[in-house]
Amino acid sequence: MKKVLVTGATGFLGSYVLKELKGKYDIISVGRNEGKLMKMKRENNELECIKADLSDIKAVLELPKADTVVHSAALSTVWGAKKEFVRNNITATENIIKYCKEKKVKRLVYISTPSVYTAKKDRFNVRENEFDKNNKLNYYIETKIAAEKIVLDAESSDLEVIVIRPKGLIGIGDTSILPRIIEANRKIGIPVFKGNEDILADMTSVENVAYSVLLCMEKDGISGEVFNISNGEPTSQKKLLGYVAESLGTKFRYKKLSFGRVYAAASLLEGIYKVFGIKKEPLLTRYTVCTLAFSQTLSIEKAEKLLGYKPRVSLEDEIKRFGKFYKENGFVK
């Protein structure tokens, strides 16, 4: 059986990638959370689990040889010190490339982000080449764009490389999108920037993303390609929130806000936090405001055509499963 090395294995997406690959590959799981790695090993004794700092080239080159690498590890947040983003997103990726070359890895699948498309405007049916390579809205976007280039530049006759940009991952284990929405509703209500005009949200069941990773590992003739991944069902924000509210047995409150004023406040807050070196994420960031205020939908035509990608879990079903889990485990206050 072929071997695959999965970085970021203890993360949200990484854990689902492991489930998708179980029984199909021998898996080397690499992560930073030792507790989670130990738990994973207890649950599946056949799983090889290794704690490693990917910014340490010595540690990376000591990792066991694999035929394929899925590089999912990243510092994925909207706020933090630039050096930490560089270390975790750029240096770590450079080290993974060095590992691939030294270990003669045949294929590298890199998990990037559609955050690279973020702008102060609505964007519909965005294709893979339609992004600003100089987007510096935050350090996460800046370093992910740089890491993508590192990966794509490493393509050779010996190493095939593929990049995916999965949009808005949701599912059981999500600690970002749906939990933040629920908490915002509990505290202040859901921000609305366009009055009665609704925005379109494009999200993805994490299981569908894990499936797309498998396709990227196995499809021939796709080296050097970048793929958008989503559920392919752009839906109004209020409709999606309706699914969430129904699954939780609750209601959402909406709060009308001025985009210009909130964006200006976010800019001011970011400036203050940078000047005073405050590590905690500001209550508002420009990225978060843009994400809430504008529609952004992705074209997945390329993934459908070249990968044969077709979502297996609908957004409504994924949200219902999340809500059921959230309630049954006492997260609803």
pLDDT at 285: 85
Residue 276 has what pLDDT?
Answer: 76
The 3 state secondary structure assigned to the chain is CCEEEEECCCCHHHHHHHHHHECCEEEEEEECCHHHHHHHHHHCCCCEEEECCCCCHHHHHCCCCCCEEEECCCCCCCCCCHHHHHHHHHHHHHHHHHHHHHCCCCEEEEECCHHHHCCCCCEEEECCCCCCCCCCCCHHHHHHHHHHHHHHHCCCCCCEEEEEEECCEECCCCCCHHHHHHHHHHHCCEEECCCCCCCEECCEEHHHHHHHHHHHHHCCCCCCEEEEECCCCCEEHHHHHHHHHHHHCCCCCEEECCHHHHHHHHHHHHHHHHHCCCCCCCCCCHHHHHHHHCCEEECCHHHHHHHCCCCCCCHHHHHHHHHHHHHHCCCCC
Q: Which of 37-46, 135-144, 227-236 has the lowest mean pLDDT?
A: 37-46
Query: Does the pLDDT of residue 283 top 80, yes or no?
Result: no
Higher pLDDT, 277 or 51: 51
pLDDT of residue 195: 60
pLDDT band, very low/low/confident/very high, at 99 (cuts 50, 70, 90): very high
Higher pLDDT, 326 or 196: 326
Give, in order, the Cα–Cα distances in Å from 226 to each of 42, 98, 207, 301. 36, 21, 19, 12
pLDDT class for 332, splitting at 50, 70, 90?
low
In this prediction, residue 333 carries a pLDDT of 56
Structure confidence by residue, pLDDT tens digits, 285-305: 888 888 888 899 999 999 999
Query: Could you give the number of structural domains in the chain?
Result: 1
**331 falls in which pLDDT band (50, 70, 90)?**
low
Q: What is the pLDDT, as a whole number, of residue 301?
A: 98
Asked if the structure places residue 217 within a domain, the reply is: yes
In the prediction, which pLDDT does 78 show?
82
Question: In terms of residue numbers, what domain contains 86?
Answer: 3-171+204-231+298-311
pLDDT of residue 269 exceeding 90, the answer is no
* Average pLDDT value for the chain: 92
Q: What is the mean pLDDT of residues 23-45?
A: 92
Q: What is the mean pLDDT of residues 57-66?
A: 98
Predicted pLDDT at 61: 98
Domain assignment present for residue 263? The answer is no
Mean pLDDT of the 167-179 span: 90
pLDDT tier, 326 (very low <50, low <70, confident <90, very high otherwise): confident
**What value does the mean pLDDT take over residues 112-138?**
94
Q: Is residue 99 part of a domain?
A: yes
| Residue 313, pLDDT above cutoff 90 | yes
Residue 27 pLDDT grade (very low, low, confident, very high; cuts 50, 70, 90): very high
* CATH number of the domain that residue 99 is part of: 3.40.50.720
pLDDT at 308: 97
User: Is 177 a member of any domain?
Assistant: no
* 73 within domain boundaries: yes
More confident of the two residues 234 and 175: 234
Looking at the predicted structure, is the pLDDT value of residue 139 above 60?
yes
In a domain, 254, yes or no: no
Residue 111 belongs to a domain: yes
* pLDDT given for residue 247 in this prediction: 87
Q: Is the pLDDT of residue 220 over 90?
A: yes
Q: Residue 196: is its pLDDT beyond 60? A: no
Is the model more confident about 214 or about 326?
214
pLDDT band at 73 (very low <50, low <70, confident <90, very high): very high
pLDDT band at 238 (very low <50, low <70, confident <90, very high): confident
Structure tokens at 194: 């366009």
Residue 197 maps to a domain = no
